[in-house]
Chains A and B, each alone.
Chain A
Amino acid sequence: MAHALVAEKHPLDDLIRRDRMPHIWCPGCGIGIVMRCYAQAILESGIPVERHVVVSGIGCTARVPGYMNLDSYHATHGRPVPFAIGLKLAKPELMVTVFSGDGDLAAIGGNHLIHAARRNVDIKIICINNFNYGMTGGQVGPTTPLGAKTTTTPYGNPEHPFNLPYLMAAAGAVFVSRWTALHVRQIKEDILYSFRKPGFTFVEVLAPCPVGFGRPNDIEDGVEEMRIYRRRSRLVYRVPDEMPWEALEVDLREERPIYVGRFVDREREVFQPVRLRS
């Protein structure tokens, strides 16, 4: 029996707040994986850390700015997007990233999200989709798949979920992609790509939530949910050439493929408010 060598410091410790580790997320949660991808992307972006800003709302995912060692803002529930828009318009040299969950961005901040996409404001959205409201105890959210069990829908969810890539593409985002928490290299590459892409970009990451979503739906733990992602992920480019947009809907209970990839990559004019001439 051999031990791994014990270390004191992680290579990315300069970008995270060491004194606040270990973080509050449950064992098997995928948010930490995406946070590491974001930290790595910041490191490789070539943009100094002083110019990076991360904004979040309320929720499990919204704890990320609290653990990042850069300028970070914890806005009220659902309002990270307006906060980020204000930040970007006041200081255009900043690289503003919104790092929040599906309940925060798509439910309570849903209108802000689609209107920011419509205006094509130059902010970068990383949305972690774990299919429920994790922090408050696993309630049904707007992305919970049809029929999935949560604490507030014990007989199965009767509502159809949001199809976030479809919504964002329809609203006018210039870059839309979706990955699962297992696609670590692709998440990092897409965050890096969105840093270089002017306009409203949206990266959705499907992350395991073993306690809130997995347990009522007979998914044993985080590793089991990652195995499901590995088995069912199908890489596609450029919908709708190859498949209808409706197929992007995620259903974790049925054996249907989960389509991942870069769905939209296009150019649109970036939002630039009219400057008053003196």
Chain B
Amino acid sequence: MRVYARQPVNLTQIRIPRGQVFLIPDRCKGCQMCVEFCPQQVLRMSHEMNARGYHYPEIAPGKENACVHCEFCMMVCPEFAIFTIEVDSA
């Protein structure tokens, strides 16, 4: 007997969005808020520096397609330096 409980009825219709991270490196001050609070751990700090000597985030290895466009990095960035744009998941 199949158990129907605990399964959303629209499970097959739900499409997980995909996002592309955009960065303005010269505004970044390396506070690491986006790296810390990304729910998918898409970002990490790079070894490179911007013109002011701050390390800025980059996409972690193997996470190139992991962004789900929740926009939390954009919301939590105090510097207006990072945002995501939804891309076609196809």
Contacts and interface: CB of A to CB of B under 8 A. Distances in A.
Interface residues of A, number: 39
Contacts of B75: 33, 36-37, 40, 184-185, 188
Given A1-B61, A226-B36, A32 B78 contact: yes
B83 A221 contact: no
Contacts of A245: none
Contacts, number: 101
A33 B82 CA distance: 12
B27 to A, nearest CB: 5
A184 B76 contact: yes
Interface residues of B, number: 35
A90 interface: no
Interface of B: 20-27, 29-33, 36-37, 43, 46, 52, 54, 57-59, 61, 64, 72, 74-83
Contacts of B33: 28, 33, 222-223, 226
A30 interface: yes
Contacts of A274: none
A29 B36 CA distance: 15
A78 B30 CA distance: 32
A8 B57 CA distance: 16
A6 B79 contact: no
Interface of A: 1-13, 16, 21-23, 25-33, 35-37, 40, 182, 184-185, 188, 221-223, 226-227
Contact of A11 (B32, B36, B83): B83
Contacts of B77: 32-33, 36
Given A1-B61, A30-B78, A32-B77, A7 B22 contact: yes
